[in-house]
Amino acid sequence: MEKFILKSNENRSFTFREGAALIRSNETGNLRIDVDYSAAFGGGERYHTVNLKGHRINIEVEEKFCEQFDKSYCPIPFFLTDNGFGLYADTGHPINFAFEDDFILVDLPLGTEITLFSGTTAEIISDYMSLFGQPVSPPEYTFLPWISANHWDTQEKVEQQIELLKRYDFPAGVVVLEAWSDEATFYIFNGAKYTAKSEGYLTYEDFSFPEDGPWSNPKAMIEKLHEAGLKVMLWQIPVYKKQEASETISSQNEIDRQKSVKNGFCVHQENGAPYTIPTGNWFAGSMIPDFTNEVTKKDWFAKRQYLLDIGIDGFKTDGGEFIYRDDLLFSNGMTGSEMKNRYPQSYTAAYTEFLSENHILFSRAGFSGQHMTPILWAGDQKSTFSELRSQLRAGLSAAMSGIVFWGYDIGGFAGPIPNSDLYLRATQMATFCPVMQWHSEPDGGQFSAIMASEDLENERSPWNIAKRSGDEKLLERTHFYHKLREKLLSHIVSEAQKSVENNRPLMVPLAYDYMNDKITHNMTDEFIFASNFLVAPIITANTSGRDVYLPEGHWENYWTKEKFDGKQWVHFEHEWHIPVYQKVAG
């Protein structure tokens, strides 16, 4: 590694593993890197491409509901080339990378610290990750299937999932509850009765839960889910919410908002006024906590401590893309421009600090060092094959940016309910991803005015999709893959630990291991999972087979045990399985 501080009109040369680069800055600090390369990877989680060559990408955290294309919830100012050159820019400012034919342009502020890397793909990604620290290994239960649906807005519906899992004999390790809170404080169960506190913090004993309310006994529910082998995660959003006139105003939320202003817990404008999310954005009018302030963190998590006390196992940390102005001031002295990209990572890092090692996060937004706050999820996509392909590209580009553990919503989160073909193919792919989870938006659609699902019960559970589609074989086939995930659990857990020890993402594109083979550079529909599974998911509709590229080595068809030499294309055909191969000794 070589580090330097970016200055104007400065030239330097850097010799790397397979060549040399001439790096020139102009008077504004922008870099031109003359380098002979065939492919480039990284830039964070990217939905439109894995190989960055020929693309211009923005390193800017952006919230986009479905069809993200070139926008990213988790951009990272890091890239590497096929011939052993890598670069990381230590800045939170929104910047651009342009990957031209024989040079790369990097738009940076003067004074940015630049780190240059030389080595193999694995070495460069590991060295980049080491700038922040060792990845965190999620607990074993993380690698069993996850179940979730926004439709589950009562204790009765949640507890019913235990019986449904038993009835259909589906394994699961995690249940994620999104529609659990009052949608005001985001730390109080919906329907709970209590007296708001202006001093001190609410404990579980301060609440009463009506028998006819949505959550009659949350603690008992959590204990029941634990007894059934399910860990429990709750949805979070980092706001002091501005409630709408149509909502029942929460007195506790109003107290919290007032305290956040009085005590400086929230992000402020440079003139001292509290910052509020601008009109036209998610949670408009809300203030946001300043997680660079130790006092803010202490207050924020004191409110949530009772949730851990009653057995909650982690949080789904949604949102975080809320910095829309430059003229903001954070407790660490940074401005809005400097924290635009860093904010979501400060948010998830604060939750990681709050939780013990046996707890987990599932986060949508992130930035540099995201591997320190696992796990990343791909956000919101529609139930279409084009979005499934987008999800796969996101996972592979995330891996080439040092993100070790990643997952997506099986069959898509939004819009009309997926058909059985899409749902099966998405389930099969997820079986060989770090996190295997099904989830769905609220009944009727997340944004019904622009994209109604027209489904009064759009839960993406296997049994609901089988029922809705009328496909009698779907339940049996999805059951097979859930059971396969359970069968592979010990291997996945072992490889996950190696991933942490070796700074190797659990799921990687073929180019990660076979960069010298140029065929792999533009391959966005195959990947390596848990070191030795080559997975070629079927991501087009009504398809029973596909061609598969086997790179160097010796490979065995996982289903038939037929053996193949590498560096060739083979055709796979099956009524409903996807191509899976394992590397074997020659």
The set of catalytic residues is: 318, 321, 380
* Cβ atoms 578, 537 nearer than 8 A: yes
The token duo for 584 is 């074997």
CA distance 500 to 142: 14
Q: Residue written as tokens 């995660």? A: 233
At 279, the amino acid letter reads T
CA diameter of the chain: 72
Helix (H, G, I), strand (E, B) or coil at 566: coil
* Whether the Cβ atoms of residue 50 and residue 397 lie closer than 8 Å to each other: yes
Torsion over CA: 43, 49, 55, 61 (sign) = negative
**SS3 of 545, please?**
strand
Element (H, E) at 109: none
Taking residue 516's Cβ as centre, other Cβ atoms within 10 Å add up to: 14
376: closest CA among 402, 346, 411?
A: 402
> What DSSP string runs through 182-223?
-SSSSSSBTT-B----SSS---GGG-B--TTSS-S-HHHHHH
- Partners of residue 266 on adjacent β-strands: 289
From CA 3, how far away is CA 485, in angstroms rounded? 43
Q: Is 63 left (phi over 0), alpha (psi -120 to 50) or beta?
A: beta
Q: Is the peptide bond before 410 cis (omega within 30 degrees of 0)?
A: no
Helix (H, G, I), strand (E, B) or coil at 574: coil
